[in-house]
Amino acid sequence: MEWLKVKNVRKWSFCLKQWCLLVEWPRNKGIRTYIVEAFIITFFQGIGMVKRMTYLEGLKKMANGELPGSPASQLLGFKVTDVEEGKVVIEMEVDERFHNPMGTVQGSILCDIADAAMGYAFVTTLAEDELFSTVELKMNFLKPIFKAKLRAVGKLIKKGSSVGLLECYVYDQKESLVAHSTSTCMVLKGNSRRKRIQM
């Protein structure tokens, strides 16, 4: 196995990307890149050639544009912009596309970015074989939004061995507080695949 070098990850990744492009699967380029790189890295990890990145490292790469965001973030259009352990910032531009029948931004959009910011903040503290699930979320809406650049700042308040308490402040481009949220997240232990399994 001496011929197998870590640098070959990029070569193998390129070949697999070309195959995916040829068969047009998946059609979304960002998702295609994510799947290919995840597959290649998992293979090299299995033979002990590549160290698996931590959740914190992965989120920092996402913030720098080196990794794509989640499918939900790509659909809604929000992005991770700043990451540190126990704190994550998400930004999103909202306009009439996200309005409710009353002509203001739908409250669930604010919930989405707050939930993501708090969830990402929590995941930065997890071990390699741990996942999590949000089990409770509360949101206070403090002003109507019509068109704005929103910034959600999710922070860990306290974490125990099985649950964590988090909060999120959502601001507009004028640094005016738009909403405040708290959530409880539960640690799910013993899953090195980093994916929930559908039963």
Q: What is the pLDDT of residues 65-104, one digit of tens each?
A: 999 999 999 999 999 999 999 999 999 999 999 999 999 9
**Residue 1: CB atoms within 10 Å:** 7
Burial of 96 (0-12, 13-18, 19+ CB in 10 A): exposed
- pLDDT of 1 reads 34
Q: What is the pLDDT of residues 12-34, one digit of tens each?
A: 556 555 555 555 555 566 665 65
pTM for the whole structure: 0.72
Q: Going by CATH, does the domain composed of 55-188 fall within 3.10.129.10?
A: yes
Question: Does 38 have pLDDT greater than 90?
Answer: no
Between CA 82 and CA 124 the distance in angstroms is 12
Over residues 150-170, mean pLDDT: 97
- What residue ranges do the domains of the chain occupy? 8-46, 55-188
